[in-house]
Amino acid sequence: MSDPIQTLAIVGAGMIGASWAALASALGVAVRAYDPNAEAEARFLSQVERARAQLAELGLTGTGNVSFFSSLAEALEGAGFVQENGPENEAVKRKLLAKIDALLPLDAIIASSTSALVRSSIVGDCARPGRIIVAHPFNPPHLVPLVEIVGADPDVVTRAADFYRALGRRPVVLNREMPGHIANRLASALYREAVHLVEQGVASVADIDAALCNGPGLRWALMGPHMTYHLGGGEGGIAGYLAHLGPSQVRRWESLGNPSLDAEVQAKIVAGVAEEAAGRSIAELEARRDEGLLALLKTRTLVSD
């Protein structure tokens, strides 16, 4: 980046905000955080410390300062980039983004983390909407590289993508806004079929999860579906695959389900997840997930080298 951002403001200091703060500070960026919840500070700093310990395993040991402020205006002072992580509520975000927009100098970028809201709606009350982007991470963002970007000003989008790359993230830019962006739409399509398989009694919840993790999920950690099928076509690549096996894809698409989420199906899923969790708490499962993500990231680094 020609003008690297030195200070990041975090607005909304929950789990996502703490993850961003840990990553930025581990790469030497100063972090100024704000949350309206009076009890947020202690939890936020604890989560940052935990995430920083994980990042140290990846060799990220920078000493960017992390500060917590009781007012939004104080947190925004000197920030060149704002990562907003407020509630997934359109009215709340519209009001919050407008307030942030009014407090910041023109050259600062505002990034809103939303999994399903569209940018054009949440910037409706802002005086300078061009410098506001949607930047949707996957949880936890200090370990999962993806950031989905939606913006209106190409220069702002480019600067934001450069900033995320400087944090070691992998930005993808949408050409137009879409509810759920890219990754959540793909995940939702997969989960719809996973629920359908439960609804139809095809397999247990645990076996459906295992089928994904021990099969296509391993390949998807390295390449997406288009490239995976490109390799599946052998010497003919994706053209050969589509010519010879495309019809089988169509047959599978035609058999995919459109399940309900009524009380009976929900009960089956809840019971199946409880059986799969085998008494492990959410915290224990999160720790296991993060250990696995760290191992995958280390392996991916070795492969790329």
242 and 209 share a domain? yes
> What is the spatial distance between Cα 153 and Cα 226, in angstroms, rounded to a whole number?
29
Nearest in space to 124 (alpha carbons), one of 154, 97, 151: 97
119 and 24 share a domain? yes
Over 80: is that where the pLDDT of 210 sits? yes
Q: Which pLDDT value is given to residue 222?
A: 86
Q: Do the beta carbons of residue 30 and residue 69 sit within 8 Å?
A: no
Over 90: is that where the pLDDT of 38 sits? no
Q: Which pLDDT value is given to residue 301?
A: 63
Question: Is 178 contained in some domain?
Answer: no
Q: Which pLDDT value is given to residue 294?
A: 93
Q: Return the CATH number at 164.
A: 3.40.50.720
45 and 130 share a domain? yes
156 and 17 share a domain? yes
3-class DSSP state for residue 140? Answer: coil
> What sections of the chain are H helices per DSSP?
15-26, 40-56, 72-76, 90-103, 119-122, 154-166, 183-199, 205-213, 216-220, 225-232, 237-255, 263-277, 282-304
Q: Which pLDDT value is given to residue 52?
A: 96
> What is the spatial distance between Cα 28 and Cα 50, in angstroms, rounded to a whole number?
17
Question: Is 169 contained in some domain?
Answer: yes
Q: Do the beta carbons of residue 208 and residue 197 sit within 8 Å?
A: yes
Q: Who contacts 16 (Cβ-Cβ below 8 Å, separation ≥6)?
A: 85, 113, 137, 139, 140, 141
Count of beta carbons in the 10 Å neighbourhood of residue 127: 8
Q: Which pLDDT value is given to residue 305?
A: 40
pLDDT category at 302 given cuts 50, 70, 90 is low
Over 80: is that where the pLDDT of 250 sits? yes
> What is the spatial distance between Cα 32 and Cα 78, in angstroms, rounded to a whole number?
9
Count of domains forming the chain: 2
Beta bridge pairs of residue 137: 147
Q: Return the CATH number at 298.
A: 1.10.1040.10
Over 90: is that where the pLDDT of 158 sits? yes
Question: Is 130 contained in some domain?
Answer: yes
Q: Which pLDDT value is given to residue 4?
A: 83
Instruction: Give the pair of three-digit tokens for residue 66.
Output: 């992390």
- 135-148 residue pLDDT tens: 999 999 999 999 99
Over 70: is that where the pLDDT of 73 sits? yes
143, 173, 203: which is the final residue of a domain? Answer: 173
Question: Is 219 contained in some domain?
Answer: yes
167 and 251 share a domain? no
Q: Do the beta carbons of residue 48 and residue 21 sit within 8 Å?
A: yes
Over residues 28-33, the mean pLDDT reads: 97
165 and 300 share a domain? no
Question: Is 1 contained in some domain?
Answer: no
Question: Is 70 contained in some domain?
Answer: yes
> What is the spatial distance between Cα 128 and Cα 110, in angstroms, rounded to a whole number?
10
66 and 104 share a domain? yes
More confident residue, 39 or 209: 209
DSSP line for 278-291: TT--HHHHHHHHHH
pLDDT category at 299 given cuts 50, 70, 90 is confident
Over 70: is that where the pLDDT of 304 sits? no
Question: Is 259 contained in some domain?
Answer: yes
288 and 249 share a domain? yes
- 171-206 residue pLDDT tens: 999 999 999 999 999 999 999 999 999 999 999 999
130, 147, 173: which is the final residue of a domain? Answer: 173
55 and 165 share a domain? yes
- The per-residue pLDDT of the chain, averaged, comes to 94
Over 60: is that where the pLDDT of 262 sits? yes
262 and 150 share a domain? no
Whether residue 4 has a cis bond before it, omega within 30° of 0: no
137 and 205 share a domain? no
138, 173, 208: which is the final residue of a domain? Answer: 173
Which residues form the domain of 161?
7-173
- 98-137 residue pLDDT tens: 999 999 999 999 999 999 899 999 999 999 999 999 999 9
pLDDT category at 1 given cuts 50, 70, 90 is very low
Question: Is 2 contained in some domain?
Answer: no
78 and 166 share a domain? yes
